[in-house]
Amino acid sequence: MPQKRILPYIILELLQERPLTGKEITAQFQNEIGEFWKASHSQIYPELMRMQHDNWLKITENDSDGRKKHYQITVTGEQVLSNWIKEPVTELPLNRDLFSLKLFFVTKSDSKVIEKLFNDQIALISAQLEHLKARKKLLFADKAPIEQHFGHYLLLNRAIARQEGQLNWLKETLAQLS
Amino acid sequence: MPQKRILPYIILELLQERPLTGKEITAQFQNEIGEFWKASHSQIYPELMRMQHDNWLKITENDSDGRKKHYQITVTGEQVLSNWIKEPVTELPLNRDLFSLKLFFVTKSDSKVIEKLFNDQIALISAQLEHLKARKKLLFADKAPIEQHFGHYLLLNRAIARQEGQLNWLKETLAQLS
DNA sequence: CGAATCATGTAAAGAGTTACATGATTGG
DNA sequence: CCAATCATGTAACTCTTTACATGATTCG
């Protein structure tokens, strides 16, 4: 087992609200979910076929559009999902990021390198932070998150808090170094 | 290109200090580096052969121990590494973590589920935080980080700051929810 | 009608994991 | 000397990404 399968469960989650086509599922991974999980259509279509084969989902009948395939979660699929959700999360994710890597190998004398490394990272995170804040404003401006989007709201807040923490640490540490 | 090659550059970094055997390199990934990058020996040995073939490193001569192979970075390897280090980090890492995933799909009515999700994560991060702090104490108690370990010191601080931020957010948010 | 694109799919390759294998060496 | 382990290596498999392919549909 190289990695525990996650993708099919994400798809099941998405289908809980309503039936979707492969295209629509793919789009989700480029928008909301893309923040923390990526999957391309070349991964999704085979996965859908496999899930259909395992009877986790089926193609909805009476579909007006000929080529689009609307996938719908089955009772089996709902059970599978329900069991998966109950499994506790027992390990922290491994953060394979280049900044950590370069930071690790930096030596104290590389002050120029360190400075650039920090400034680049600050720029990156600032941009990301702006993006996240803009999205929060767009999606949840004033109004409280409605039922379905509550998790999304929590996640956005968490991402923002994390990036702000990062940014502060970067700025403080950079200031101390110089 | 499925993913940009990182592993060989990490190995080059490790070899900059002194020649190492495959076993020793593997050990590094289970200790210091393991915090943010993993690699098993079955990945490392073929990589070493490949790098040797590309002349990024060579086996040191006059080795007393017969079976151990001490790999040494070559001039070519140093150039390759130097170029790689100069490349700016242009993208943030994708955080594929299950907690985010489950958080995203949670609905407001699942108060029991949310609570458990948060408490599990708080326990996980607390444990990790203790571990990190213990290591910092062990490695850098009182004494300032020496030249070679400066990056390691920075990285540990960053990891601790990140986990503390996480933990605070989790606790605050959990309190607000109930 | 012809070109662009839509929706779906297939192919090829690299990265990473787990499990298996092997010859040398050490220790009781 | 024999068993454990050390150090290295191989195999099989899954995940993920990039690139290529194809038939249907829309639009000027």
Structure confidence at residue B90 (pLDDT): 86
Tokens of A73: 């979660």
In a domain, B91, yes or no: no
Backbone dihedral angles phi then psi of residue A21, each to the nearest 5 degrees:
-90, 165
| Binding-face residues of A in 137-176 toward B, CB within 8 A | 145, 147-148, 150-152, 154-155, 157-158, 161-162, 165-166, 169, 173
pLDDT category of residue A62 using cuts at 50, 70 and 90: low
Whether residues B64 and B113 fall in one domain: no
* Partner B contacted by A92 (CB < 8 A): yes
Collapse the DSSP code of B5 into the 3-class scheme (helix H, G, I; strand E, B; otherwise coil) and give the result. coil
The count of residues in chain A is: 178
In a domain, B2, yes or no: no
Q: Compute CA distances A142 → A31, A79, A111, A147, B113, whole Å.
A: 22, 36, 45, 15, 26
Whether residues B78 and B122 fall in one domain: no
First to last CA, chain B: 47
In a domain, B92, yes or no: no
Mean pLDDT of chain A: 90
Q: Which residue has the higher pLDDT, A84 or A142?
A: A84
Q: Which residue has the higher pLDDT, B65 or B161?
A: B161
Of B29, B64, B86, which residue constitutes the final position of a domain? B86
Q: Which of A69-83, A114-128, B27-41, B143-157 has the lowest mean pLDDT?
A: B143-157
Whether residues A13 and A70 fall in one domain: yes
Average pLDDT on B64-78 reads 87
Q: What is the pLDDT of residues A29-44, one digit of tens each?
A: 998 899 899 999 999 9
What DSSP string runs through chain A? --S---HHHHHHHHHHHS-EEHHHHHHHHHTTGGGT----HHHHHHHHHHHHHTTSEEE-SS-SSSS--EEEE-HHHHHHHHHHHHS---SPPP---HHHHHHHH--TT-HHHHHHHHHHHHHHHHHHHHHHHHHHHHHHSSSPPPGGGHHHHHHHHHHHHHHHHHHHHHHHHHHHH-
Q: Under a CB-based contact definition with an 8 Å cutoff, are residues B123 and A62 in contact?
A: no
pLDDT category of residue A3 using cuts at 50, 70 and 90: low
Give the whole-angstrom CA distance, residue B128 versus residue B130.
5
| B57: DSSP letter | E
- List CB contacts of A145: < 8 A, sequence separation 6 or more: A152, A153, B108
Cβ–Cβ below 8 Å for B103 and A128 = no
In a domain, A148, yes or no: yes
Whether residues B113 and B80 fall in one domain: no
- Percent of the residues in chain A that have a pLDDT greater than 90, as a whole number: 66
CATH number of the domain enclosing B65: 1.10.10.10
Tokens of B143: 């004494």
Q: Under a CB-based contact definition with an 8 Å cutoff, are residues A91 and A98 in contact?
A: no
The shortest C-alpha distance from A66 to chain B (Å) reads 31
Q: Where is B72: in which H helix or E strand?
A: strand B70-73
Look up the protein residue whose alpha carbon has the minimum distance to the C1' of C9: A45
Whether residues A27 and A66 fall in one domain: yes
* Partner A contacted by B107 (CB < 8 A): yes
Q: What is the pLDDT of residues B29-56, one digit of tens each?
A: 998 899 889 999 999 999 999 999 999 9
Range of the domain at B66: 7-86
Whether residues A52 and A79 fall in one domain: yes
Q: What is the pLDDT of residues A105-156, one digit of tens each?
A: 888 778 888 999 999 999 999 999 999 999 999 889 877 888 778 998 999 9
Chain B residues near residue A153 by CB distance under 8 angstroms: none
Structure confidence at residue B2 (pLDDT): 43
Give the whole-angstrom CA distance, residue A60 versus residue A78.
16
| Nearest alpha-carbon partner for B93 in A159, A150, A112 | A159
Residue A69 pLDDT > 60 = yes
Collapse the DSSP code of B117 into the 3-class scheme (helix H, G, I; strand E, B; otherwise coil) and give the result. helix
Residue B138 pLDDT > 80 = yes
* Partner A contacted by B66 (CB < 8 A): no
Of B66, B86, B106, which residue constitutes the final position of a domain? B86
Q: Which residue has the higher pLDDT, A63 or A151?
A: A151
Which residue has 């807040």 as its token pair? A157
Of A86, A120, A148, which residue constitutes the final position of a domain? A86
* Partner B contacted by A115 (CB < 8 A): no
In a domain, A93, yes or no: no
Which residue has 């089996």 as its token pair? A76
Q: Under a CB-based contact definition with an 8 Å cutoff, are residues B170 and B118 in contact?
A: yes
Vertex A63 angle, CA A61 and A69, to 5°:
85
How many domains does chain A contain in total?
2
Q: Under a CB-based contact definition with an 8 Å cutoff, are residues B17 and B148 in contact?
A: yes
In a domain, A135, yes or no: yes
Average pLDDT on A154-177 reads 95
Whether residues A124 and A147 fall in one domain: yes
Chain B residues near residue A152 by CB distance under 8 angstroms: 104
Residue A173 pLDDT > 50 = yes
Residue of B5, B40, B98, B140 for testing the chain A interface, max A β-carbons within 10 Å: B98
Whether residues B24 and B73 fall in one domain: yes
pTM recorded for the entire structure: 0.89
Residue B62 pLDDT > 70 = no
